[in-house]
Structure 1
């Protein structure tokens, strides 16, 4: 499967496409019906912080469906992991901290998010898992 990097309302960098493609190429999971990749910092917690977990879903045509960045809300035993930022390319919606906007409104944040995320992957801060849809 080849990841598509054009035809989105927000520009997807070649670097992000290369990261997703690399994970597919390294995996033995059947990706033909689509898949989800999870990037997790094993040390991330509500108390000590760390790198936010990220989930990327891709359909059977190699198109990115959504990218979700999670964060802890609250503290101590009441902290909950929830969506902080969500770029839903299928529904053309951008969500930030529970508020929903047309995806184009998230363009500058998406550009910054992509740059930071690709840097974190390059520094190998995440454990990565891939599962079929």
Structure 2
């Protein structure tokens, strides 16, 4: 079954990002689901060793289309007991982007950050660093 993702929500998202998501969902049958969460994890990522940040992508069904709700990049922060926090959060509902170091920024101001994040994400995906878990709600 092919999922159709609404690509018009935040036009700043490059096609390569959607290709990664669609590739992971190619064999998913969400017939009874109203939401899909994809978790991209580097199994070796840790506060001590570093690695590739975990990324979570949430989609929700809207009639026949699936719409992106958020894309969140997590990173270990804090001392002496680091925890995972939102490093970058792309919110499609509000059309804003959150960066740990600059707070919430609007759609117009976030183009460079989205381009850098999505390019890196797709490159890491192509390198095979992520283990992907798909959850249906």
TM-score higher than 0.5 here?
A: yes
For 1:3, the equivalent position in structure 2 comes to 5
Q: Which structure has greater helix proportion?
A: 1
Q: Which structure has greater strand proportion?
A: 2
For 1:92, the equivalent position in structure 2 comes to 95
Gaps of 5+ in 1: none
Q: How many pairs were matched up?
A: 131
Question: C-alpha distance in 1, partners of 2:100/2:107?
Answer: 14
Equivalent residues of 1:34, 1:58 under 8 A apart: yes
For 2:59, the equivalent position in structure 1 comes to 58
Equivalent residues of 2:38, 2:133 under 8 A apart: yes
For 1:130, the equivalent position in structure 2 comes to 134
Equivalent residues of 1:3, 1:20 under 8 A apart: no
Question: C-alpha distance in 1, partners of 2:28/2:67?
Answer: 18
Q: Residue 71 and residue 36 in structure 1: after superposition, are their counterparts in 2 closer, same or farther (change >3 A)?
A: same
Structure 1 length as normaliser, TM-score?
Answer: 0.88
For 1:48, the equivalent position in structure 2 comes to 49
Question: C-alpha distance in 1, partners of 2:53/2:30?
Answer: 24
